[in-house]
Amino acid sequence: MTKYCLLMFAAVLWPILPANGEVAEPPLEVQDGEFRRGGNAIHAIGVNYFDGFRRLLEFPDKQAANPPEYAAGMDLLAKHRIPFARFAAGGFYPVEWHLFRDDPEKYFALLDRFVEEAGRRGIALIPSLFWAHFAVPDLCEEPISAWGDKNSKTRAFMRRYTESVVRRYRSSQTIWAWEFGNEFIMEADLQFQVKAEYWVLPKLGTATKRTAADFPRSTDLIDAYREFADIVHKLDPKRPVMTGDAMTRASAWHLARGQGWKPDSQEQWSEAIQAAAPGQIDTISLHIYHPRADGSGYPGCGLAGATLSGNFELAAAAARASGKPLWLGEFGAGIGENSIPQRKEQVDEMLTLIERHRIGLAAYWVFDSINPDLGVWNITATNDNSWILDRIAATNARLAKKGN
């Protein structure tokens, strides 16, 4: 397996450019601490179409139909004028990276199709390139902390895939931004509580056990973020670059210093948020969920003792202090089971807070997922959450009237 991590076909490194060879102006950029399109500030709510592209990697024969299965989901988004979707632009488990590893031309033909289907319907995309923190290191037969080693095969793979994707789609008006991965910082600074079976699924290509080296430091991940942003901005100077991180842990500052679960002060928590968006990372990336129906919060995240509204205010303040806009890559109802009336109250409150705080971009978790475990959040055309698209559409209409 390792030798394939060093393999790359030159064909996928060639950019897809307009006829005149110029890279098109990006449809979205960050200026003066806010998201802008055509020089105007934008505030918009989209969705996570997490496994839209992964369907092609997991079930290629099923998706060979024209239109493919995920296209019905895109039609539903277009009907509700949902402006954009965040999605996993790569494998989740290591085995889902095999197609790129073995036949990059075929791999990119699938990704081309996904991007084209979205563009045809007027849906912008925010690709998250390395969704699962363990996948690339496991593929390269290295510990997960290899993200922090500039000379590792993991970082070499990151460079090659990032360059391939950005070169290929930097001229596409469908792409709004580039995101590193999903919630990597949630896995940081936990070396003191090693779990040997954590994300161990050898049939899906993972390592057979975990050691302390599989529990990275925040400095490992922040170093990878920094290089990712440098690579992207060298190829595509204007489009925003994001980390994809979750809501900062209540003890993030202390964990990073080896001091365990001691609660952070407000200043320390804000410092940890800003530290996780280094260098040319253009946004503060956070995921915010409503507290559970019983009133308990998202486990270990957000400033200790703060309410949902308080965490919104504190996160917005940290973003302002950094000079970078706040990107809520995920938001949703409470973790765990709750009734439909409770869910409606929770989603409405989240949308109200997004609108009140004028969050630039936010994406609901999750749309049209094939994972049955996500039922409490999952929106489809016919399930108990179908009304959420109407709520998002109505909020987007109000945001537009207020002047983006």
**d(C-alpha 96, C-alpha 404), whole Å:** 39
This model's pTM is above 0.75: yes
> What's 149-204 look like in SS3?
CCCCHHHHHHHHHHHHHHHHHCCCCCECCEEEECCHHHHCCCHHHCCCCCCCCHHH
Provide the CATH number for the domain around residue 117.
3.20.20.80
Looking at residue 293, what is its pLDDT?
63
Q: Total domain count for the chain?
A: 1
Is residue 118 within 8 A of residue 83, CB to CB? The reply is no
Burial class (CB in 10 A: 0-12, 13-18, 19+), 335: middle
| Domain span holding position 178 | 2-401
How far lies 169's CA from each of 127, 280, 300, 380, in Å? 10, 20, 37, 28
Question: pLDDT 10s digit of each residue in the chain, 404 long?
Answer: 444 444 433 333 333 333 333 445 678 999 999 999 999 999 999 999 999 999 988 877 666 667 788 999 999 999 999 999 999 999 999 999 999 999 999 999 999 999 999 999 999 999 999 999 999 999 999 999 999 999 999 999 999 999 999 999 999 999 999 999 999 999 999 999 999 999 999 999 999 999 999 999 999 999 999 999 999 999 999 999 999 999 999 999 999 999 999 999 999 999 999 999 999 999 999 999 998 766 665 555 899 999 999 999 999 999 999 999 999 999 999 877 678 899 999 999 999 999 999 999 999 999 999 988 888 899 999 999 999 999 999 999 999 988 75
**Which residues does 150 contact at the CB level (< 8 Å), separation at least 6?**
223, 227
Looking at residue 298, what is its pLDDT?
59
Categorise residue 236: left if φ over 0, alpha if ψ from -120 to 50, beta otherwise. Answer: beta
